[in-house]
Structure 1
Amino acid sequence: MRHRPLGRSGLSTAPLVFGGNVFGWTADEATSHRLLDAFVDGGFNAIDTADVYSAWVPGHEGGESEGVIGRWLKASGKRDKVLILTKVAMWPKQPGLSAANIEAAVEGSLKRLQTDYIDLYQSHRDDADTPQDETLEAFDRLVRAGKVRAIGASNFSPERLASSLETSKAKGLARYETIQPKFNLVDRDQVEGAMTELTQAEGLGIIPFYGLAAGFLSGKYRTEDDFEGKARAATIRRDYWNDKGRAVLAALDEAAEAVGASQAQVALAWIMAHPAITAPLASATSVKQLDELMGAARLELPGEVWRRLDETGR
């Protein structure tokens, strides 16, 4: 499987990244470990998490996902086979991108992950209250100390990302090598346009989240009855249950039939073939579901199929 570079970091990823928000939440520890084994054994290598996962769950505090991954790393001995991506800034317990918070947060992440280094340490969101040079100097110290191999950003505007890159260049500091925005067949504004122009000009990788639009692009929401009892029903109904969303579903149905794949596989394969994208994130809570998602990385969409989907989603 051909790997793709994560910016100019020297790191590379298979064309699908495992989104670890489910670990210790909708996938218990034993299931999570089976998923991680299956993912790596399937030829994939990048696992994304964050210190805040899964603080939103009643009874959780945050750090659960990192803890599950850390115990898997210790038990499996597969640390040298994977890239560990985690994030700082959104955990209410340790918010923001001040130097003091980054320096404290990374120690907690390293301890929970049971590793000496993080491959890609990401700003989970922008922090307008902290000067960018303070943030980048803190990250640079971590890189120089060997605790972090490269840094990335998530949920940044093109303007703020550009400003941070200028600061890194001017001061000779580690720079963001990747960006994580929301992106799928229906939600495209955060990537296409200014962000694509910036990342291509600066050689950054894009590793987007929400590739299946909270499950909408898997094709399991077809009628009002399908929303009953679903955790993200309100979000999906608000953002995707409209004329455009239904048109995309119809195009996915046609494409899936044409190539003999599932709607979810086609939706992810479309992202993987997008010229601006490095690799999308996707999550699974069963090995069967994961096998389906991994199949997307081996699915080649004919040009006319890709273009039909592209035009419908605009």
Structure 2
Amino acid sequence: MKYRTIGTDPQRRREVSVLSLGAMLFGTATDEETSFAILDRYVEAGGTFVDTSDNYAFWVNGLQGGESESLLGRWRRSRGIGDEVVIATKLGARPLAPGTSYVDNPEGLSAKVIRQSAAESRERLGVEKLDVLYAHIDDMSVPQEETVEAFGALVAEGSVGLLGVSNQWVWRVERARALAAASGLAGYELLQYHHTYLRRRTDRPSELDPDGSPGGADGALLSYVRHHPGLTLVAYSPLLAGGYVRADKPLGSELDHPGTPARLAALREVAQATGATVNQVVLAWLIGGEVPVVPLVGASSVAQLDESLAAVDLELTADQRARLDAAG
């Protein structure tokens, strides 16, 4: 396994594995026995960065969220896991009632919700301190100053380590970070967005983000991370839920443009040259790029996880990376 540092404050920064494991469906679509086996294998391989949210998985069987965090809490206790594994969670997008969603009925980012939801996440995870806490979606109904101050207060009191943000416009991220800095508070240092090798169209919403939220890492976001040392981009859905390799998982309409076939061809060429799978080349391209990226992968079996883990040791040559970068 390889590692990189997240965060800038010497007292709060952490070293994490360059490959993060998503626990979105653990405890629901992925049963507990399988989830534990995947987590055990990840840790055995040196993985130390697990991702969840307080709203996972509200869309399964009319649930309301919290199932993934609760499973991770049971796994931690049963395995004696301490702070050697960094667990990141999120708040703001948990539905307020069963049968609703983050689109029409989210908990939001008020100071009251931030404090209450963070406490509930700590309880479900069985920890006194959340390693990483993200604002999952934006909340335009609450003054941004209130949100920034509430997150900063949790860090100041020691109940949260590092802060992150997901699915917000870059100008909102920058404004939140400026507000935090002006008040002497901790600000967002991890940015979690959809990012992969294929380039998305910008003239239509992604099928991953049907509500039109800025869930994708576009050029503006990548430039922002590149020019702000200390920020880390965590890339969710880097393998397009199987879209690179499975005929039954067609690519979304946001990838329907002339550049996609050229980039797919380059991927296949490099995969053949390296003896790796297409998915492994995608992950290696992300891990070794100029912008610091931590791919966040899901797995429904140990075999799927093993394929992703092998990508950590895949070293692309300068020529192979140039070929991938220039395609499309």
Q: CA deviation at 1:54?
A: 0.2
Go from structure 1 to structure 2 and tell me whether the alpha carbon gap of 1:25 and 1:187 turns closer, same or farther (over 3 Å shift).
farther
Q: Does 1:253 align with 2:260?
A: no
Q: Distance in 2 between matches of 1:131 and 1:59?
A: 31
Matching residue of 2:225: 199
Q: Does 1:275 align with 2:290?
A: yes
Matching residue of 2:160: 148
Q: Does 1:182 align with 2:208?
A: no
Higher percent of residues as helix: 1
Q: CA deviation at 1:196?
A: 2.8
What are the Cα deviations for residues 20-76 of structure 1, in whole angstroms up to 9, with x where unaligned? 112123311111111111101101100010001000112422111111111000101
Go from structure 1 to structure 2 and tell me whether the alpha carbon gap of 1:26 and 1:306 turns closer, same or farther (over 3 Å shift).
farther
- SS of residue paired to 2:24: helix
Contact 1:284 1:290 (C-alpha < 8 Å) held by counterparts: yes
Gaps of 5+ in 2: 97-105, 203-215
TM-score by length of 2: 0.87
Q: Distance in 1 between matches of 2:121 and 2:253?
A: 35
Matching residue of 1:210: 237
Q: Distance in 1 between matches of 2:113 and 2:252?
A: 37
Give the counterpart letter for 1:143 in structure 2. V
Q: Distance in 1 between matches of 2:252 and 2:148?
A: 39
Contact 2:58 2:64 (C-alpha < 8 Å) held by counterparts: yes
Contact 1:13 1:279 (C-alpha < 8 Å) held by counterparts: no
Alignment of 1:54-203 (within 5 A): 54-93=57-96, 95-187=107-199, 190-191=216-217, 193-203=219-229
Contact 2:195 2:236 (C-alpha < 8 Å) held by counterparts: yes
Matching residue of 1:39: 42
Alignment of 1:224-263 (within 5 A): 226-227=248-249, 233=250, 236-240=251-255, 243-263=258-278
- SS of residue paired to 2:293: coil
91-100 or 188-197, larger mean C-alpha shift: 188-197
Go from structure 1 to structure 2 and tell me whether the alpha carbon gap of 1:187 and 1:245 turns closer, same or farther (over 3 Å shift).
same
Matching residue of 1:18: 21
Matching residue of 2:5: 5
- RMSD (Å) for aligned C-alpha atoms: 1.7
Q: CA deviation at 1:247?
A: 3.0
TM-score by length of 1: 0.90
163-172 or 134-143, larger mean C-alpha shift: 134-143
Q: Distance in 1 between matches of 2:293 and 2:108?
A: 27
Contact 1:16 1:297 (C-alpha < 8 Å) held by counterparts: yes
Contact 1:40 1:81 (C-alpha < 8 Å) held by counterparts: no
Q: Distance in 2 between matches of 1:253 and 1:199?
A: 28
Q: Does 1:302 align with 2:314?
A: no
Identity of aligned residues (%): 37
Q: CA deviation at 1:201?
A: 3.3
What are the Cα deviations for residues 102-160 of structure 1, in whole angstroms up to 9, with x where unaligned? 01101111111111111000000111111122111111221122211111101121111
Q: Distance in 2 between matches of 1:30 and 1:144?
A: 37
Number of aligned positions between the proteins: 301
